[in-house]
Amino acid sequence: MEGCMWPIKTGNKAKRLLWGPPQNQISWAFMKELRERDKTQKIYDCDPYVEVYEFEENLYGLFANNCDGMGDVWMYLIIGPEKAMLIDTAYGLGDTKALVDEITGGMPLVVVNTHSGPDHCLGNVRFDKVYCHEYCEWSIKNKCKPHAWDYLFDENGNNIWLDFDRRDLPEYRDYQLIPVKNHHIFNLGGDYDVELVWMPGHDSGHAMFLDRKGRHLIAGDDVCSDVIGCGGGGRPEDPYRKYATLEAYRNELEKLCERLDEFDYIYPGHFIVKLENHLMVDILNTLNAILENPQDYDYKQEEVSGNGGAKKVRMFKYIPGFSTIAYNEQGVYIPKG
């Protein structure tokens, strides 16, 4: 017997057809409550595929259904005194640029990526210039390219996972992808700085963004209330694949945990948002436990892919009071040599 999640009812133009992996019950309950009852929610005519939530005075969450079978995604919009910053671009379904301009009143915009997942970077083509961590440049270019959206449709051209109008996807066009180093500062006017913090694990060039003025950490996919997949080991062709490991994540997270006084809340790339900062210590402790004994996992399972890939076997370790960390044997330690 297979169960299913109760549909979430909003005015979003996109409708779910099929999931890949099963959805997490706790995350789904949170999202259902938020999306059906939050009084700040707005859906703009210029982009009916995105739900806009005002989380804080200067911080908006832009919710988009994932175009493939993986978890639905958050983009974030920070409003500074002189510039705005858009963190991640999803699939580009709908007119993301027009939406951001309508929210900000046409402010100058800085666009950045947390990592190279298609649900976070394919919308880059809606913009002229996008920034990323230097170790992610290769991977984003490898993902965001002509025909990148083809896998969303079957051989007959029918949508596989999400019902939407194919004409509302962007056409690929060249744009400027600018790699920057760890701790690069983006100034949004006056003393409003947002810092790129390299946080590998989920991706070799994965980055978080620390909004010190707003006291928010935009965490990407290295924090998730469903499952944190941060020990995959990377793809063989990735020149920085050694950083797609739990050890690399642990090493950088140790440094971030010394800076908990710089932010109060965490906003991940998927599901539950506004998590408290001490969660990072719980994740760090769980990473250390795995590194001490990778075979001491809580469970192991074969999973179907939600984006057209092969099945994979992963091990899972519980983060007390939160979710799990998922990894495979190749994704635990940084390779020597």
How far is it, in rounded angstroms, from Cα 214 to Cα 79? Answer: 10
171: alpha, beta or left, given left = phi > 0 and alpha = psi -120 to 50?
Answer: beta
Q: What is the tally of structural domains in the chain?
A: 1
Say whether pLDDT at 2 is over 60: no
R_g of the chain computed on alpha carbons: 19
HEC per residue, 174-236: CCEEEEECCCCEEECCCCCEEEEEECCCCCCCCEEEEECCCCEEEEECCCCCCCEEEECCCCC
Answer yes or no: is 159 within a domain: yes
Answer yes or no: is 282 within a domain: no
Say whether pLDDT at 271 is over 70: yes
How far is it, in rounded angstroms, from Cα 201 to Cα 284? Answer: 12
pLDDT tens digit string along 127-154? 999 999 999 999 999 999 999 999 999 9
Confidence of residue 302 (pLDDT cuts 50, 70, 90): confident
The per-residue pLDDT of the chain, averaged, comes to: 96
Say whether pLDDT at 4 is over 80: no
Answer yes or no: is 149 within a domain: yes
Query: How many other β-carbons are positioned within 10 Å of the β-carbon of residue 52?
Result: 20
Say whether pLDDT at 37 is over 60: yes
Extract the runs of DSSP E, i.e. beta strands, from 113-184: 129-133, 162-163, 176-180
pTM: 0.96
pLDDT tens digit string along 68-114? 999 999 999 999 999 999 999 999 999 999 999 999 999 999 999 99
- The residue-averaged pLDDT of 225-239 equals 94
Calculate what percentage of the chain has a pLDDT beyond 90.
Answer: 92
How far is it, in rounded angstroms, from Cα 93 to Cα 155? Answer: 21
| Domain span at 64 | 15-225+263-277
Give me the residue label for tokens 């992808």.
Answer: 177
CATH number of the domain bearing residue 108: 3.60.15.10
pLDDT tens digit string along 171-184? 999 999 999 999 99
Q: How many H-runs (helices) and E-runs (strands) does the chain carry?
A: 6, 20
b/e map 72-87, b = 16+ CB within 10 Å: bbbbbbbbbeebbbbb
Q: Which of 51-65, 81-95, 268-282, 305-319 has the lowest mean pLDDT?
A: 305-319
Answer yes or no: is 241 within a domain: no
Answer yes or no: is 272 within a domain: yes
Confidence of residue 1 (pLDDT cuts 50, 70, 90): very low
Residue type, 9: K
Which pLDDT belongs to residue 207? Answer: 99
Tokens of 256: 């971030």
Give me the residue label for tokens 């709908």.
Answer: 94
Report yes or no: 317 and 325 within 8 Å, Cβ to Cβ: yes
Which pLDDT belongs to residue 308? Answer: 62
Residue type, 321: G
* CA–centroid distance for 201 within its chain: 13
- The residue-averaged pLDDT of 207-217 equals 98
The secondary structure element, H or E, covering residue 318 is: strand 312-318
51: alpha, beta or left, given left = phi > 0 and alpha = psi -120 to 50?
Answer: beta
Answer yes or no: is 234 within a domain: no
Which pLDDT belongs to residue 307? Answer: 65
Give me the residue label for tokens 């915009």.
Answer: 109
pLDDT tens digit string along 242-265? 999 999 999 999 999 999 999 999
Which alpha helices (DSSP H) does 38-116 contain, by range?
Answer: 96-104
Answer yes or no: is 60 within a domain: yes
- The residue-averaged pLDDT of 274-302 equals 98
Say whether pLDDT at 309 is over 70: no
Say whether pLDDT at 216 is over 70: yes
Which pLDDT belongs to residue 23? Answer: 85
Say whether pLDDT at 332 is over 70: yes
Answer yes or no: is 323 within a domain: no
